[in-house]
Structure 1
Amino acid sequence: MAGSVQEDPPEEVPLDFTREWVEFTDPAEPAHLVRADLTWLTSAWTCVYGRGCAGVETGRPDDGCCSHGAFLTDDDDVRRVGAAVAELTPADWQRHGTAPWVELEEAEDPDDDSDDGAGEPRTRRADGACVFLNGPDHPGGAGCALHALALRTGRHPLETKPDVCWQLPVRREQEWVDRPDDTRVLRTTVGEFDRRGWGPGGHELHWWCTGAPAAHVSPEPLYDTYAAELTALLGPAAYAELRRLAGSRLDQGLVAPHPASPPARGGAVPVELLRRRPG
Structure 2
Amino acid sequence: MSSTQPPAEVALDFPREWIEFLDPADEQHLVRADLTWLLSRWTCVYGSACRGIIGGRADDGCCSHGAFFTDADDENRVKAAAAKLTPETWQHYRRGFKNYTEVDTVDGTKPARRTATRSGDGPCVFLNDGTFPAGGGCALHAQALRDGVHPLKYKPDVCWQLPVRREQDWITRPDGTKLLQSTLTEFDRRGWGAGGHDLAWWCTSSPDAHVGTEPMYLTYAPELTALIGEAAYRKLAELCAARLKSGLIAIHPATASAQAPKRRGGREPASPRQV
Q: Does 1:115 align with 2:108?
A: yes
For structure 1, the 5+ residue unaligned runs are 108-113, 270-279
| Residue of structure 1 equivalent to 2:202 | 208
1:188-213 deviations in Å (ceiling 9; x for gaps):
00000000011110000010000100
Aligned residue runs from structure 1 range 213-252, under 5 A: 213-252=207-246
| Residue of structure 2 equivalent to 1:103 | 102
Letter in structure 1 aligned against 2:128: N
* Residues matched between the structures, number: 256
2:42 aligns with one of 25, 40, 45: 45
For structure 2, the 5+ residue unaligned runs are 264-275
| Residue of structure 1 equivalent to 2:131 | 137
Q: Does 1:21 align with 2:13?
A: no
Aligned residue runs from structure 1 range 52-91, under 5 A: 52-91=49-88
1:127-153 deviations in Å (ceiling 9; x for gaps):
420000001121111100000000000
Cα deviation, residue 264, structure 1: 7.4
Tell me the percent identity.
59
The change in CA–CA distance for 1:239 and 1:93 in structure 2 (over 3 A counts) is: same
> CA separation in 2, counterparts of 1:220 and 1:244?
15
| Residue of structure 2 equivalent to 1:125 | 117
- Give the TM-score normalised by structure 1: 0.87
The change in CA–CA distance for 1:164 and 1:192 in structure 2 (over 3 A counts) is: same
| Residue of structure 2 equivalent to 1:183 | 177
Is contact 1:12-1:211 (8 Å) kept?
Answer: yes
**2:242 partner SS:** helix
Is contact 1:13-1:212 (8 Å) kept?
Answer: yes
Letter in structure 1 aligned against 2:252: H
1:70-118 deviations in Å (ceiling 9; x for gaps):
00000110011001000112232101235511111058xxxxxx635x4
The change in CA–CA distance for 1:98 and 1:169 in structure 2 (over 3 A counts) is: same
Letter in structure 2 aligned against 1:38: L
Is contact 2:69-2:158 (8 Å) kept?
Answer: yes
**1:49 partner SS:** coil
Letter in structure 1 aligned against 2:198: E
- Give the TM-score normalised by structure 2: 0.89
Cα deviation, residue 268, structure 1: 4.5
> CA separation in 2, counterparts of 1:216 and 1:240?
24
1:159-205 deviations in Å (ceiling 9; x for gaps):
00000000000000000001111110000000000000111100000
Is contact 1:259-1:265 (8 Å) kept?
Answer: no
| Residue of structure 2 equivalent to 1:275 | none
The change in CA–CA distance for 1:225 and 1:40 in structure 2 (over 3 A counts) is: same
Cα deviation, residue 52, structure 1: 1.2
Cα deviation, residue 255, structure 1: 4.0
Alpha-carbon RMSD across the aligned residues, in angstroms, is 1.8
> CA separation in 1, counterparts of 2:21 and 2:200?
36
| Residue of structure 2 equivalent to 1:273 | none
